[in-house]
């Protein structure tokens, strides 16, 4: 597997640190301006004090401290409030933008094409299939939002569905998956919260000004003293000053957002080509945006604060320095160096709708990509079942069923009692087909189950997780496949209903500090290598890569304990996680052979550790 994604994740992490520095500088500047306006407008000092340096000691520093404390508290509360709103991950952003979640089993031709493309790109990128939201916008745009691949969502506008052909839609979706793998989503969500804090002072001034209208504070004919009148006028002046500061905050905020966002868009375009192997797809989408009447503009009132998330420029800007995206022509030129600079004539929505079904048929007839081959390998019955909420639960149960008659009988009893008779019937219908799947196909099936399972009501999710725990408890010695299923469902499904399960921060710990769990994980990987000699060879190959002291022989693996410790590895910083993944990769390739079970383990661990593992990358 290319280390480019790890490098870009680390760059996104450094950009987040730069964002914090810029935010701090912006707050300090706004703090200074707020103090100056407060002191002058409320009459505590004369303007000459500001210019005469020898009189600075006469300033009411107690008031300066109070104003500073209030400003910092206000900005901090605004950031925390927005952070609290966004803690549930990508679905909150999608809903705020007016997105409506598509059902995984939708039969609408345009929606079905989109859902198929998202499935293909998820397989190509080695991520769980994310939920898809449709925005009621006539423009051509899309976004990805979330903290990590496990809670990511994809949003696409109606105009995108109606105007783009399949290749172009695939390029747009691949661009958004690139943001997921490059680590941009976590940075983008933090950017929303940080900018909300910068803009909050302006909101305070606006509401102060609005509240002072008609209030007794400025009724100059009410018999109040001249001091009261002056104070009232000072409050109005303070409110006006805060509004001006709000505009300055907006200026700095948009400048920070644009500076952070633009170069990441070029990178996502290039990464999209890596997934699709088709630069004309994404380049064609950019050309259609340029010729479309609404371009990529988003009308939703929340579009401004989320403008850096989108595929194209979502908001009109009066100056290019505030643009969150590079010019369309520049992006196209990088993808097609010999482009003649001409844009196509606008398309009708009817044409795209009529061609949607044909496009899916042609895609199936044409030479399939690696991701499409993975999709076509699964039996049709399982593909259809994976897109429906109830059958998707049955499929997970099938994956946990044991061959031992006694254990299997008990598991079927639990499915009936803790689930339902209908669920048991679906398990009975699907279990024989699931039993024909090899380990790799089982992991790929799990990838595509996520949208349907995340559509469960919360009460049903609680019942389902209780059922899964009961099914696992009757298994004396869980196999690797059963362990992987339980870990994957627990990790990727829980984040939908419990925001505390979302991995929002990187850990400062190193592999050396996590040596026991690293040793357990590498022992697990080496255990699938073959005979004892091959296992020892795999262990030594991993030991040569990871920069920690390991025993000369692999330890005995305790799967339950390893499952509890995996979150610590999930939160590793990109460079540490890259080194761990290189050790895992070296372990499975020590004999220069990549068996199906080893491929399955690589894919499953990539999903559990949220490591980019593109299906198009045969090198792992």
Distance CA 620, CA 616 (A): 9
Across the chain, which distance is largest between two alpha carbons, in Å? 98
CA dihedral 599, 604, 610, 615 (to 10 degrees): 40
> Can you say whether residue 401 is alpha, beta or left, with left for phi > 0 and alpha for psi between -120 and 50 degrees?
beta
One of 137, 168, 176, 372 is an active-site residue; which one? Answer: 176
Per residue, the 3-state secondary structure of 413-480, as one string, reads HHHHHHHCHHHHHHHHHHHHHHHCCCHHHHHHHHHHHHHHHHCCCHHHHHHHHHHHHHHHHCCCCCCH
Q: Is position 176 annotated as part of the catalytic site?
A: yes
Q: Which residues of 505-538 are buried (b: 16+ CB within 10 A; e: fewer)?
A: ebbeebbeebeebbbbbbbbbbbbbbeeeebbbb
129, 149 contact by CB (below 8 A)? no
Report residue 500: phi and psi, to 5°: -65, -15
Question: Which sign, positive or negative, has the C-alpha torsion 191, 197, 202, 203?
Answer: positive
Q: Where are the alpha helices (DSSP H) in 97-219?
A: 109-125, 158-163, 166-181, 184-212
Integer CA distances (angstroms), 235 to 61, 210, 247, in order: 20, 12, 19
- How far is 139 from 382, CA to CA, in rounded Å? 35
Q: What's the rounded Cα separation, in Å, for the pair 52 and 59?
A: 11
Helix %, strand %, coil % for the chain, to 5? 70, 5, 30
Give 150's DSSP letter: G
In three state form, how does the secondary structure of 477-503 look?
A: CCCHHHHHHHHHHHHHHHHHHCHHHCC
| Rounded Cα–Cα distance for residues 153 and 79 (Å) | 23
Residues in a beta bridge with 156? 134, 142
Do strands 153-157 and 132-135 pair parallel, antiparallel, or not at all (unpaired)?
parallel
For 562, counting Cβ atoms within 10 Å of its Cβ (0-12 exposed, 13-18 middle, 19+ buried), the class is: middle
610: closest CA among 555, 572, 584, 582?
572
Residues with a catalytic annotation lie at 176
């Amino acid at each position: 597997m290319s280390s480019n994604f790890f490098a870009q994740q680390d760059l996104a992490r450094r950009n987040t640190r730069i964002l914090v520095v810029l935010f701090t500088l912006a707050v300090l500047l706004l703090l200074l301006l707020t103090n100056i306006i407060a002191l002058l407008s409320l009459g505590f000092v004369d303007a000459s004090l500001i210019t005469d340096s020898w009189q600075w000691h006469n300033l009411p520093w107690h008031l300066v401290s109070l104003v500073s404390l209030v400003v910092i508290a206000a900005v901090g509360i605004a950031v925390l409030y927005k952070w609290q709103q966004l803690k549930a991950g990508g679905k909150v952003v999608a809903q705020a933008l007016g997105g409506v979640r598509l059902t995984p089993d939708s039969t609408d031709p345009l929606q079905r094409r989109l859902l198929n493309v998202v499935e293909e790109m998820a397989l190509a990128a080695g991520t769980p299939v994310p939920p898809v939201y449709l925005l009621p916008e006539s423009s051509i745009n899309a976004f990805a939002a979330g903290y990590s691949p496990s809670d990511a969502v994809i949003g696409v506008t109606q105009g995108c569905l109606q105007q783009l052909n399949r290749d172009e839609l695939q390029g747009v979706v691949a661009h958004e998956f690139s943001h997921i793998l490059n680590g941009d989503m976590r940075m983008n969500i933090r950017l929303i919260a940080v900018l909300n804090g910068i803009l909050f002072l302006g909101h305070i001034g606006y509401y102060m000004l609005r509240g002072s209208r008609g209030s007794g504070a400025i009724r100059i004919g009410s018999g109040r003293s001249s001091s009261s009148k002056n104070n009232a006028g000072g409050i109005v002046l303070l409110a006006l000053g805060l509004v001006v500061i709000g505009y300055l905050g907006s200026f700095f905020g948009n400048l920070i957002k644009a500076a952070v966002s633009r170069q990441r868009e070029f990178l996502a375009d290039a990464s999209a080509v890596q997934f699709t192997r088709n630069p004309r797809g994404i380049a064609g989408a950019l050309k259609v945006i340029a010729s479309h009447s609404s371009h990529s503009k988003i009308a939703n009132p929340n579009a401004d604060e989320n403008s850096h998330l989108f595929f194209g420029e979502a908001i009109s800007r009066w100056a290019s320095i505030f643009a969150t995206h590079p010019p369309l022509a520049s992006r196209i030129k990088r993808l097609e160096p010999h482009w003649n600079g001409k844009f196509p004539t606008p398309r009708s929505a009817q044409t795209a709708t009529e061609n949607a079904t044909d496009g899916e048929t042609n895609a199936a007839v044409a030479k399939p990509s690696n991701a499409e081959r993975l999709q076509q390998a699964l039996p049709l019955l399982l593909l259809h079942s994976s897109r429906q909420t109830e059958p998707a639960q049955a499929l997970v149960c099938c994956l946990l069923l044991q061959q031992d008659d006694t254990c299997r009988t008990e598991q079927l009893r639990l499915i009936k009692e803790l689930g339902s008779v209908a669920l048991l019937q679906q398990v009975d219908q699907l279990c024989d087909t699931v039993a024909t799947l090899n380990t790799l196909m089982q992991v790929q099936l799990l990838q595509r189950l996520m949208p349907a399972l995340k559509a469960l009501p919360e009460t049903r999710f609680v019942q389902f997780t209780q059922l899964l725990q009961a099914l696992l408890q009757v298994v004396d010695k869980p196999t690797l496949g059963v362990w992987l299923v339980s870990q994957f469902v627990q990790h990727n499904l829980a984040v939908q209903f419990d925001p505390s399960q979302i991995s929002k921060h990187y850990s400062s710990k190193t592999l050396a500090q996590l040596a026991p769990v690293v040793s357990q994980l590498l022992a697990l990987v080496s255990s699938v290598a073959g005979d004892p000699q091959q296992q020892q060879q795999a262990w030594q190959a991993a030991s040569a890569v990871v920069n920690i002291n390991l025993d000369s022989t692999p330890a005995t693996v305790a799967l339950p304990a390893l499952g509890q410790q995996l979150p610590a590895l999930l939160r590793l910083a990109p460079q540490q996680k890259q080194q761990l993944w290189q050790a895992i990769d070296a372990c499975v390739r020590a004999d220069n052979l990549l068996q199906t079970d080893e491929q399955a383990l690589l894919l499953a661990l990539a999903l559990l550790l949220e490591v980019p593992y593109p299906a198009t990358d045969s090198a792992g």
